[in-house]
Structure 1
């Protein structure tokens, strides 16, 4: 097999492998606390592999959205607020808290108003939000949390056409050199 064919085959294998392994989760979420307080909506992404010894939890890698109308500015590091572990359990039935997408340690973030928020689950019965201001006053609400997979982006037809043309061109070059 000549060098051009080997390069073409290697590129094709890398392209397929890259598509197959880039599988970080992408989710939309909505939380409404009791009495209409603590409304949180947004989007989060997770790492592509579960955290070792977590019972199947995936580390939340990024979060966007709003908390009571204030933009979410960043994800708070692990163990930096209310003992958070920032784990998401895609398989709710086998998650750490039996039916909760977040465990009792929760996922924490900060908003533009300077409030720290921790979304957590407790045995699948209570979903809550702990919030603390910069001054240190904290509150708790329980409410309804929904998490749904985000729509996957559809590949752009132009990119697929360009990839196809490149592969045909590599094939023609390989054929021309073989003759």
Structure 2
């Protein structure tokens, strides 16, 4: 239930200047159908909360979390755990990012990050700044995780957290 703003354009490459003020769901749908007019895009133009998330996620095989706040991330993680759905999570902050894949019966977001956000957490992207390349790296790695889950190929980041820092070019994987 968000609209495209000018601060989105440098990091959310589906949107362009003509899309400012348009619902993000509609802008994204148009961008995807420009690439492939045969694709079917289902949009849900709403804020996710405890009253609507379960019926929303029930219809999907894999969930990719691209949200921008910790309470929603926890809600998605908890719901995926309850429904037995795999979850590919990615987040960025300035020049760095992190990824985690939650498989049924394995570690969840709460296991890694706890139940409450840090006191200094969830500062807005527009205020702090996000390097668009960090979004590209995180999104590409997250897409690879989703593909690995769907195709049952490789070793997803289950029970492991990957972090990267594009200033130092450090990539780390931590076992949980």
The reply to whether TM is greater than 0.5 is: no
Instruction: Kindly indicate which of the two structures has a greater share of residues assigned to helix.
Output: 2
Normalised to the residue count of structure 2, the TM-score between the two structures is 0.23
